[in-house]
Amino acid sequence: MSRLLVVDDDVELCGLLEEYLRAEAFTLECVHDGGTGTTRALSGEHDLVILDVMLPVLNGFEVLRRIRAGSNIPVLMLTARGDEVDRIAGFAAGADDYLPKPFNPRELVARVRAILRRQLAHDSVIPSGDILTEDDIAIDVSGRSARLSGHDLALTAVEFDLLVELVRAAGTVISREQLTRKVLDRELSPFDRSIDMHVSHLRRKLGPRAEGSERIRTIRAAGYVYTRASRLAGPTD
């Protein structure tokens, strides 16, 4: 049984989630303020945190920053519907995914299970020398580590999977739909900008090449491509 921590001050919602998630074979603990949520998230007793943005004592972003300072536990953030600023801030602080309120409980379960599958793959690694290289990037696919010019890249599980998909297809455009399916383990839904935000954060961590060229380009109405230094073509957004 996976152990979930819900940090949300909506007591009625927590009661409904507790009833629904227990029926889906999860164990659940609910707390209702950011201070307690931070303490419980860092206790090491849970497999995933479901974290609301609007909380008393500490807001969700501050809770997430404090969690990330001491733990890599997966965090699914609950945000106001249509508030892209919250989603951008959540991903920047280290959220694994987000779900806008109000939401369908089945969608919540699907997101939770997808995150837990990614985390299991990230944690259960056996270094095997399966190395993928492109430019100055070296990726140990089985060991789930990546290096840039010999230095370790501090990537989230999602960012690592995203880098692998892009580098494996270097020079070829991959659609947002394909990346969402392969990296986030779900179908792309309308107005879902999750994959774009993850790409943006990955770009920032990689930086440009030494000569200044962009590594990951947005191809308008098509998707993303990890460029090869000798083949930089195509209109961008």
Residue 154's pLDDT is 86
The separation between CA 143 and the C-alpha centre of its own chain, rounded to angstroms, equals 19
Residue 81's pLDDT is 62
Q: What is the pLDDT along the chain (237 residues), one digit of tens a residue?
A: 799 999 999 999 999 999 999 999 999 999 999 999 999 999 999 999 999 999 999 999 999 999 999 898 999 999 876 667 777 788 878 888 988 888 999 999 999 998 998 777 666 555 555 788 998 999 998 888 899 999 999 888 889 999 999 999 999 999 999 999 999 888 888 878 889 989 998 999 999 988 888 999 999 989 999 998 754 444 445
Judge whether 198 and 162 are in contact, CB under 8 Å: yes
* Residue the block writes with tokens 């965090």: 75
**Residues in the chain, overall count:** 237
Give the Cα separation of 19 and 117 in Å (integer): 23
DSSP string, 94-129: T-SEEEEES--HHHHHHHHHHHHHHHHHHHS-----
Give the Cα separation of 127 and 113 in Å (integer): 25
Judge whether 206 and 199 are in contact, CB under 8 Å: no
Judge whether 172 and 219 are in contact, CB under 8 Å: no
Residue 127's pLDDT is 52
Q: Which two tokens stand for residue 97?
A: 């995914």
Residue 125's pLDDT is 52
If you ran DSSP here, which 8-state letter would residue 41 be given?
H
If you ran DSSP here, which 8-state letter would residue 16 be given?
H
Residue 234's pLDDT is 46
* Residue the block writes with tokens 């299991």: 120
CA-angle at 185, arms to 80 and 49, nearest 5°: 50
Q: Name which of 199, 191, 184, 187 is nearest 237 in CA terms.
A: 199
Q: Which two tokens stand for residue 35?
A: 């201070």
b or e along 177-190 (b: 16 or more beta carbons within 10 Å of the residue's beta carbon)?
ebbbeebbbbebee
